[in-house]
Structure formats: structure tokens, C-alpha cells
């Protein structure tokens, strides 16, 4: 019998001795050890950066995307994009609970969403049924393992499960925004039209108050009018997030040279680190929630332009993040309806 570890190291195949997220290959055999929970998986929500990379690599062809995802899972025992190194999360039904598993509210038949990354979750796929190109969700038949240290949320009975999956996939971002945004701040959100961007904007607007400002960045002009109807942005800038100087100059104009106290980067493309850094005022804060962020580019880029700012890696977990995010959606009917339309 293997020595079981609550962090799942007993499932690591290669290289031995490290945790599952950092491992290249883990054991995804769908049997439930004493300190694990076995889940029948319904849907994977691939994280935005990973899904975007897969979609581009496969020329938006769902059949090629299916083959690519199956190839990754079969090789590594988990859904960890080898390019972005990120994963996503899943929803499914509890099939079996080990006798030493800590989640006492779980029993067979309970519907849940895992709140840990697919990049560390043992996953076995029998079949990919369909891929939704627009909302990053992949319907499958398969099984997954939740380790004893893994966090999860039981699906509320009054909410659509795909709606919940989409919301909880980015739950860390608005919850962290609640902690970071302060009264009278100027908050700049890069990736303003995505699900995490809009949730962050709503929460930031509440925190900064009437004298604060929330400014969004979108890539396309046609996104502006629909965003305005939500009344969560004071200003919206149209520019590619990779065009650092252009965005910086536009933000300078909008803020009359002040820049942002807090910049939140939730865009799913690479090479946006310097845009975030340039647009943040001296001694301000950048919150990099995007999985496309390069630590090297951010750290050396800030050094290269002599900018003294605090840079925070987007931890996908903060206390009560699932409840906070669902609370936001229950508070704002417009956002609720948008999520239902896009993801349910």
C-alpha cells in the first residue's frame, strides 16, 4: 500500500518527490484511495489562457481541439497545457469518498465544482462529447480525483451548474479585488470585457466609492457600448493590451497624468506585463490574475523602466472566494443574466 499524502504526492509518477501541479506525469487511475474523493466528471472549464492557446493551435477546429486535449491528458494524467502550464476546473458528481477524506459534507451523488486547478487534478477521460468554442467548456465522460487538501464548492440547487462552473473558475479575481481596491482609488482593468474583468470591475466600483474611478481596457470598439450599459466602468479605453505605449498614453490622458493606483490584468494573451506596469503609478499595485503572465517579463520589465510597484501573483484562492463571487452575481441582475446567456 502506498503511503498516502494529503497533497497527492502518492499520485506523482514523474519526477518523483514533487507535488502534482509541478509534476510532468501523475497517476490518473480512477480508483479512490482512503484520503481521496472520486468524481464522475461532466464538464471541464479550461482556463482562458489555455483554451485560447489550444484554439489558436488547432485553427478553431473542435475535432483537432478534442484530439489535443486527449493527448495532453493521456500523456500527463491531468489537463495541464504544456505551453501555458495552466489548467482550469471541473464539475461532476461524487462517486466515492475515502474513509479518511476531510470533506465530511461529501457523499455519493453530491454535485460539486472543484476549486483546485486541473493542472494538479488526476483526470481520466473516456470520451470528449463536445467542446463549446465560445465559453471554454468541454463536456466529457470521465473521472477525476480530489485530494484531501483540495477545495471544492457544492453546486447550489437554485443555480445552473454550468453558470456556477464559469463563475467559480475565476472566483479568485473578484475576491482579491475586494481586498485590494480601496476608497477613492483609480482601478485599471486590462481585459475589461471578459467574465473575470466584469466581476472585478463590479467589485472595484463598490470598493472605490463615488470619488474613485474604474477604467477598463478592451480591444474592439464594438465592445464599448454594451459594456457601458452595466455602469461599472467610468471610462473605457480601446486598444490592444500588447501595445504598451499606446495604452499608457491613453490612460495618461484619461487620468490627467495620474495613472492607476491598482491595475488588474485578466487578459488571456501574452506580452501584456509591461502594459500593466507602465499604467500603474509609482508605489501602486499590479494584480496579475492572467495565466498568460510571465514572471520574468514582469520582474525584469519593472526593473528595466525603474518602476517601484508591488506586483501580486494571481492566487486563484482567497478565503470565501466562491461565496463572494456568487454573491456578486446574485447582487447584480445584469451580470447574472449575462453569465446565464454566455455560459449556462
Please report whether residue 287 resides in a domain: yes
**Nearest CA-CA partner of 198 in 222, 221, 167:** 167
Query: Over pLDDT 70: what percentage of the chain?
Result: 100
Which grid cell is 87?
489548467
- Rounded average pLDDT over 325-338: 94
Residue range 193-226, pLDDT digits in tens: 999 999 999 999 999 999 999 999 999 999 999 9
Does pLDDT of 1 surpass 80? no
Q: What is the DSSP letter of 2?
A: P
Residue range 306-310: average pLDDT? 96
Task: Please name the residue ranges forming H helices in the chain.
Answer: 48-57, 62-76, 161-168, 172-180, 195-208, 224-228, 244-254, 273-278, 295-304, 321-331, 333-343
State how far Cα 311 lies from the chain centre: 18
Per-residue model confidence (pLDDT) at position 67:
97
Give per-residue pLDDT as tens, 119-176: 999 999 999 999 999 888 999 999 999 999 999 999 988 888 889 988 998 899 999 9
| Residue 39: C-alpha distances to residues 4, 48, 110, 192, 218 (Å) | 18, 23, 10, 34, 38
pLDDT tops 90 at residue 312: yes
At 15-29, the pLDDT tens digits run 998 999 999 999 999
pLDDT of 344 over the 80 cut: no
Predicted local confidence at residue 314, as pLDDT: 82
What does the alpha-carbon distance between residue 244 and residue 269 come to, in Å, rounded to a whole number? Answer: 13
Whole-number pLDDT of residue 255 = 98
CA distances from 285 to 149, 242, 292, 330 (A): 30, 19, 18, 29
- Is 167 a domain residue? no
**Residue 166 placed within a domain:** no
Residue 82 lies in a domain: yes
Torsions phi, psi for 41 (to 5 deg)? -90, 135
DSSP string, 206-239: HHH-TTSEEEEEES-GGGHHHHHTTT--SEEEES
> Does residue 62 form part of some domain?
yes
Rounded to the nearest 10 degrees, what angle do helices 161-168 and 195-208 cross at? 70
On whether both 187 and 334 belong to a single domain, the answer is yes
Q: What is the mean pLDDT of the chain?
A: 94
Which of 4-8, 163-167, 181-185, 306-310 is the least confident region? 163-167
% residues pLDDT > 90 (the chain): 86
| Gap between the Cα atoms of 192 and 216, Å rounded | 5
pLDDT tens column, 240-278: 999 999 999 999 999 999 999 999 999 988 999 999 999
Q: Peptide bond preceding 61: is omega within 30 degrees of 0, i.e. cis?
A: no
In the DSSP assignment, the letter for residue 158 is: T
Looking at 138, 160, 182, the residue that finishes a domain is 160
- CATH number of residue 242's parent domain: 3.40.50.720
Output the pTM of the full model: 0.86
Q: What sign for the dihedral angle of Cα 92, 93, 98, 104?
A: positive
pLDDT at 9: 96
Contact between 90 and 118 under an 8 Å Cβ cutoff? The reply is yes
Q: How many domains does the chain have?
A: 2
Residue 86, domain member (yes or no)? yes
Structure confidence at residue 157 (pLDDT): 87
pLDDT at 64 over 90: yes
Q: What is the pLDDT of residue 104?
A: 79
In the DSSP assignment, the letter for residue 294 is -
Q: Are residues 231 and 125 in the same domain?
A: no
Q: Which of 140, 160, 180 is the last residue of a domain?
A: 160
Range of the domain at 15: 9-160
Across the range 228-243, mean pLDDT stands at 96
Residue 275: per-residue pLDDT: 97
Amino acid at each position: 500500500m502506498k503511503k498516502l499524502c494529503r497533497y497527492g504526492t502518492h499520485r506523482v509518477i514523474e519526477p518523483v518527490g514533487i507535488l502534482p501541479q509541478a509534476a510532468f506525469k501523475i497517476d490518473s487511475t480512477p480508483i479512490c484511495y482512503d484520503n481521496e474523493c472520486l468524481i464522475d466528471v461532466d464538464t471541464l472549464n479550461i482556463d482562458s489562457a489555455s483554451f485560447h492557446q489550444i484554439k489558436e493551435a488547432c485553427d478553431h477546429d473542435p475535432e483537432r481541439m478534442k484530439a489535443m486535449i486527449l493527448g495532453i491528458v493521456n500523456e500527463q494524467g491531468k489537463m495541464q497545457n504544456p505551453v501555458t502550464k495552466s489548467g482550469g476546473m471541473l464539475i461532476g458528481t461524487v462517486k466515492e469518498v475515502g474513509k479518511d477524506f476531510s470533506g465530511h459534507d461529501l457523499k455519493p451523488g453530491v454535485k460539486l465544482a472543484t476549486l483546485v486547478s486541473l493542472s494538479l487534478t488526476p483526470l481520466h477521460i473516456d470520451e470528449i462529447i463536445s467542446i463549446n468554442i465560445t465559453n471554454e467548456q468541454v463536456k466529457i465522460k470521465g473521472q477525476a480525483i480530489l485530494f484531501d487538501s483540495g477545495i471544492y464548492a457544492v453546486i447550489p440547487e437554485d443555480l445552473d451548474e454550468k453558470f456556477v462552473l464559469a463563475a467559480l473558475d475565476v472566483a479568485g479575481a473578484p475576491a482579491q479585488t475586494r481586498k485590494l481596491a480601496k476608497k477613492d482609488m483609480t482601478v485599471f482593468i486590462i481585459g475589461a470585457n471578459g467574465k473575470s474583468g466584469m466581476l472585478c470591475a463590479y467589485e472595484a466600483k463598490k470598493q472605490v466609492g463615488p470619488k474613485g474611478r474604474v477604467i477598463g481596457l478592451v480591444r474592439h470598439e464594438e465592445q464599448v457600448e454594451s459594456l457601458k450599459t452595466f455602469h461599472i466602468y467610468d471610462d473605457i479605453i480601446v486598444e490592444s493590451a500588447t501595445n504598451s505605449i499606446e495604452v499608457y498614453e491613453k490612460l495618461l490622458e484619461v487620468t490627467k497624468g495620474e495613472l492607476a493606483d491598482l491595475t488588474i490584468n485578466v487578459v488571456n494573451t501574452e506580452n501584456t506585463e509591461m502594459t500593466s506596469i507602465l499604467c500603474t503609478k509609482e508605489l501602486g499595485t499590479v494584480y496579475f490574475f492572467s495565466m498568460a503572465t510571465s514572471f520574468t517579463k514582469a520582474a525584469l520589465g519593472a526593473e528595466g523602466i525603474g518602476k517601484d510597484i508591488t506586483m501580486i501573483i494571481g492566487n486563484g484562492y482567497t478565503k470565501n472566494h466562491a461565496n463572494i463571487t456568487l454573491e456578486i452575481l446574485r447582487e447584480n441582475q445584469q451580470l447574472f443574466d449575462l453569465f446565464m446567456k454566455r455560459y449556462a
